[in-house]
Chain A
Amino acid sequence: MFETIIGGFDLFFSPLAIALTFAGILIGLLVGALPGLGPLMGIILLLPVAISLPPLAGMGFLISIFVGGSCGGAISAILLRIPGTPIAAATLLDGYPMAQKGEASKAIGIALAASSLGGLVGGVVLIVAAPVLAGFASRFAPPEYTMLAITGLLTISLISEGTFVKGLLACCFGLLLSTIGTDEFSTGYRFTFGSHHMLNGFHIVAVVVGLFAISEMTFQMARDDLMDKPKLEIARPSLKAVVQTLRHWKNLLRSSAVGVFFGSLPGAGGDISSFSSYAVAKSFAKPEEKYGEGAEGGVVATEAANNATVGGTLVPTLALGIPGDASSAMLLGALLILGFIPGPEMFLMQPDFVGGLFLVYMASNVMLFFAGILAAPFFIRVLLIPKAYLIPTILILCCIGTFALQGSVFDLMVMLGFGLIGILFRLAKYPLAPIVLGLILGPILEANLRRSLLISRDGYWIFVDRPVAAALIVIDVVILVGFAVVSVRRWRAAKQSCGLDPHMRD
């Protein structure tokens, strides 16, 4: 573990890597603070820049955007009662009342300190757990990777917003998209329609920019607040926030643990972990703390959890090559483009690079606090910029970034096409994240399933013969049965509350 980190020193301690990590934190805080953007959008917009940089500097840039973006949403949640990102939604429960009591600076300071400390706890878990998991997974073969991919797809379909069926359908749509291009096993072309642009399928960045950024900007434009300027108090948080946060150290550690746990589960992102940690913190709190009326502990719980989630999410992403959410799927995509295959081999063959990634993550959480304290007044002023100026700027960035990937007009058309698909999916209340996971995990699932069957001398029994693969099958069955039981109970409860007997209905 220590050798890995020491090996990363040379890569991390370069002016470019440190400067880009710092820049990533500032950009992350900015995209987090601006309502409607968030860490995923920040990663998507800056991915084309990152993949043209030296690998560690590029990944440091993206990871720090992820870290900064996971905290930035607290600023608008506290000041405007509008969470910049869904993961900051729980922060407004106590953050906004604090601001109403004239404690906006204190609330933002605590949010920054809790995010930073929670992120560091997540980092410790990442550094300890990822190599252990990678070591364990070094004996994994195609059957285990097949089942891991299925588990990831199932859980994200189950946990994502909307119904399970819609999540599953969105996931299947992503899987179908992943079949476009060249079949590695038969070396034949699938759904390419004779176009060489389609030989590699759709570029993941063009798809994600279209699905998320173009559709989000379209919905933002449809609102009637394009020229609105909110009335804001320019808060100036101070370094004292660390002391104020550490007074809640038990809450901080507990919430960080909740964040790491949910982060390491595929599909369960920062929003679930922050609400869960808030609920846990509230249940442990004394009545006089008055959760929901401006309790410092509420801000500590949610912000520590959502940044610790980032560390947790990176554990399966780096150790297994199985991303936990859409943001980590983009990080995995960036690693692949930069020439690194996340998984046990990366820990074995490129330990220095892994060490560099650990250092980038830890440094970005330290920088988060100081950059946030210094630049908070600037981010608050940015919230005053009307959307009428922000939306065109973001759309131009989307077009430039997507075109710059391969200098391809085709990618721009893909981006616009998926923008339209994203709009339709949102209108029909289908989640978008399972599409991205389907697109990323699809090739992993297909290749390993076919490879398993080629290796097997006994057909599908290879999945039962191998203990880890068999255990994953059991977990998948338990997930599905558990979900079915919960769904039936909810359905019965809903029917009973309507005064209907569910058995009479059919």
Chain B
Amino acid sequence: MKPTLKMLTSAVFAGFTATAAMAEFPDRTIELIHPWGPGNAMAVSQIIAKAMGEELGVDMPVLSVPGAAGTKAQTTAMGKPADGYTVFDGYVAPLVLQPILGNADWDFSEFAPLHSAVSNAFAIGGRTDETRWSTFEEMMAYCQENRGALRYSSGSRNNLPHMVIAKALQSYDCVAQNVPYTQDGNAVKDLKSGVLDFSFINVGNYKSDPSAFNIMLVLSELPGSKASFDGAPTIADLQVDVGLSKLGPMGWTWWIVNPDTPDDVTDALRTAMGAAMAREDVKDAIAKIGFVPLEWDHTQYEEVVGSVQDQLSAMGNALTWEEDELKKLQ
């Protein structure tokens, strides 16, 4: 009986080994953790995830985990097993800005990049029926005379738009109250209904209802961004010094995974995302929402993200300035 039992055991073991070897990555759903609430940014991530899922042959649902300027989502994603079945949608705020502000204990270089995804220009916008001002400079003059009277939203608190808007306001010595919203749509709704005085507006918000907004300042120096907002004034036109140039004011995102993910798995994900981002249907769908598809692959991660980190670090903390000035007014 012994040889037979041994043979049987060996056969079963060999069978299991072969099955394990045949189980190639991915063999189940891959989750993309997105750091913002539902809206245009999430819609764009869903487009890319769908295409990437098609390249990999599995579904890639997008899980929205908003809060804490994206750090909640990033912590959640990095708390998952490093097996490639969790990908993080790494926007500037959680990846670079929050560590600079001391709200996160990681560095962007600690993660394994897959590919750049999209960038999204944004602007400061008001209502078209506003009677108190019509240009950004008029609004700043009003703000200087009425310190702390204006209400604005940058979407989430301590995100990139908040940092850049606070910096722009600081350069005019304008103190205004930031009101956080987890869904951009609600901030836009409250701007339209007169509850907010101005708000950050991304291209998607603008394109969905251009006649509703008076775009006063595009927070980018790039000509493409100016064109996205139908020629509205940019920080370059008004010579507003926010300390950012080129890539800085663009709210880009890189998809990243846990650095302990096996190399072959990371490579499979990189290949699939690269293929998805190269597809014309994907590019068209992203452009329709008002975002710009990016072509940087993982080899350019350090160069691109590193330069933005340097710029943001050099900007100084406009958020602390805003907070301190508001406290003085209380």
A binds B: yes
Query: Which chain A residues have a beta carbon within 8 Å of chain B's beta carbons?
Result: 52, 138-139, 141-142, 181-185, 187, 189, 196-197, 199-200, 336, 339-341, 344-345, 349, 447, 451, 454-455, 457
- Chain B 38-80, CB within 8 Å of chain A: the 1/0 string? 1000100010000000000001011011111101100110010
Chain B residues within an 8 Å CB radius of A141: 190, 193, 195
- Chain B 165-203, CB within 8 Å of chain A: the 1/0 string? 000000000000111111101100110010110000000
B182 touching A447, Cβ below 8 Å: yes
Chain A residues within an 8 Å CB radius of B29: 52
Cβ contact of A139, chosen from B151, B178, B193, cutoff 8 A: B193
Cβ contact of A182, chosen from B62, B67, B196, B208, cutoff 8 A: B67
B38 touching A454, Cβ below 8 Å: no
Most interface-central of B29, B62, B185 (chain A CB within 10 A)? B185
Chain B residues within an 8 Å CB radius of A197: 79
Chain A residues within an 8 Å CB radius of B151: 454-455
A345 touching B195, Cβ below 8 Å: no
Seed contacts A340-B38, A344-B189; 10 additional CB < 8 Å A-B pairs: A196-B79, A199-B67, A200-B65, A200-B67, A200-B76, A339-B46, A349-B208, A451-B179, A451-B180, A455-B196
Given known A-B contacts A181-B67, A339-B38, A349-B208, A187 and B157 have beta carbons under 8 A apart: yes
B179 touching A454, Cβ below 8 Å: yes
Q: Complex Cα distance A451/B177, Å?
A: 11
Tell me the smallest distance from the CB of B134 to a CB of chain A, in Å.
23
Q: Complex Cα distance A139/B189, Å?
A: 8
A455 touching B185, Cβ below 8 Å: no
Q: Closest chain B residue to A346 by CB distance?
A: B185
B79 touching A349, Cβ below 8 Å: no
A349 touching B185, Cβ below 8 Å: yes
B76 touching A196, Cβ below 8 Å: yes
Tell me the smallest distance from the CB of B242 to a CB of chain A, in Å.
22
Chain A residues within an 8 Å CB radius of B158: 187
A185 touching B157, Cβ below 8 Å: yes
Tell me the smallest distance from the CB of A214 to a CB of chain B, in Å.
25
Tell me the smallest distance from the CB of B59 to a CB of chain A, in Å.
8
The 7 closest A-B pairs by CB, nearest first: A196-B79, A339-B38, A182-B67, A141-B195, A182-B68, A345-B185, A187-B68
Tell me the smallest distance from the CB of B257 to a CB of chain A, in Å.
16
Cβ contact of B42, chosen from A339, A345, A454, A455, cutoff 8 A: A339
Tell me the smallest distance from the CB of B204 to a CB of chain A, in Å.
10
Given known A-B contacts A52-B29, A196-B75, A185 and B180 have beta carbons under 8 A apart: yes
Chain B residues within an 8 Å CB radius of A184: 66-68, 156-157, 180, 182
Tell me the smallest distance from the CB of A48 to a CB of chain B, in Å.
12
A142 touching B157, Cβ below 8 Å: no
A339 touching B67, Cβ below 8 Å: no
Chain A residues within an 8 Å CB radius of B177: 454-455
The answer to whether the Cβ of B37 comes within 8 Å of any Cβ in the partner chain is: yes
Tell me the smallest distance from the CB of B89 to a CB of chain A, in Å.
13
Chain B residues within an 8 Å CB radius of A345: 183, 185-186, 189
Q: Complex Cα distance A185/B71, Å?
A: 13
Q: Complex Cα distance A199/B70, Å?
A: 12
The answer to whether the Cβ of B278 comes within 8 Å of any Cβ in the partner chain is: no
Chain B residues within an 8 Å CB radius of A339: 38, 42, 46, 62, 64
Chain B residues within an 8 Å CB radius of A185: 157, 180
The size bracket of the interface on B is 35 or more
Q: Closest chain B residue to A143 by CB distance?
A: B195
Tell me the smallest distance from the CB of A228 to a CB of chain B, in Å.
41
Chain B residues within an 8 Å CB radius of A183: 68
Tell me the smallest distance from the CB of A134 to a CB of chain B, in Å.
12
Most interface-central of A339, A341, A344 (chain B CB within 10 A)? A339
Chain A residues within an 8 Å CB radius of B72: 181-182, 199-200
Q: Closest chain A residue to B75 by CB distance?
A: A196
Chain A residues within an 8 Å CB radius of B69: 187
Tell me the smallest distance from the CB of B320 to a CB of chain A, in Å.
14
13 pairs, CB–CB < 8 Å, chain A vs chain B:
A139-B193, A141-B190, A142-B195, A182-B67, A184-B68, A185-B180, A196-B75, A196-B79, A341-B185, A341-B186, A454-B177, A454-B179, A457-B149
Given known A-B contacts A138-B189, A454-B177, A341 and B157 have beta carbons under 8 A apart: no
B195 touching A455, Cβ below 8 Å: yes
The answer to whether the Cβ of B17 comes within 8 Å of any Cβ in the partner chain is: no
Q: Complex Cα distance A46/B156, Å?
A: 32
Q: Complex Cα distance A189/B67, Å?
A: 10
Q: Closest chain B residue to A443 by CB distance?
A: B182
B179 touching A455, Cβ below 8 Å: yes
The answer to whether the Cβ of B103 comes within 8 Å of any Cβ in the partner chain is: yes
Q: Complex Cα distance A181/B190, Å?
A: 26
Q: Complex Cα distance A200/B37, Å?
A: 13
Q: Complex Cα distance A336/B42, Å?
A: 13
Q: Closest chain A residue to B77 by CB distance?
A: A196
B38 touching A187, Cβ below 8 Å: no
Q: Closest chain B residue to A197 by CB distance?
A: B79
Q: Closest chain A residue to B209 by CB distance?
A: A348
Q: Closest chain A residue to B187 by CB distance?
A: A451
Q: Closest chain B residue to A185 by CB distance?
A: B180
List CB contacts (< 8 Å) of B139-174 with chain A. Answer: 149, 151, 156-158
Chain A residues within an 8 Å CB radius of B183: 341, 345
A52 touching B61, Cβ below 8 Å: yes
Q: Complex Cα distance A142/B151, Å?
A: 13
Chain A residues within an 8 Å CB radius of B37: 341
Q: Complex Cα distance A340/B186, Å?
A: 13
Most interface-central of A336, A340, A454 (chain B CB within 10 A)? A454
Tell me the smallest distance from the CB of A248 to a CB of chain B, in Å.
44
Q: Complex Cα distance A227/B65, Å?
A: 45
Q: Complex Cα distance A182/B182, Å?
A: 12
Most interface-central of B66, B76, B195 (chain A CB within 10 A)? B195
Tell me the smallest distance from the CB of B326 to a CB of chain A, in Å.
10
Most interface-central of B62, B68, B177 (chain A CB within 10 A)? B68
Q: Complex Cα distance A504/B29, Å?
A: 70
Q: Complex Cα distance A125/B78, Å?
A: 46
Tell me the smallest distance from the CB of A82 to a CB of chain B, in Å.
40
B196 touching A187, Cβ below 8 Å: no
Q: Complex Cα distance A295/B177, Å?
A: 65
Q: Complex Cα distance A197/B64, Å?
A: 15
Q: Closest chain A residue to B189 by CB distance?
A: A345
Chain A residues within an 8 Å CB radius of B103: 187
Q: Complex Cα distance A340/B79, Å?
A: 26
Q: Closest chain A residue to B197 by CB distance?
A: A455
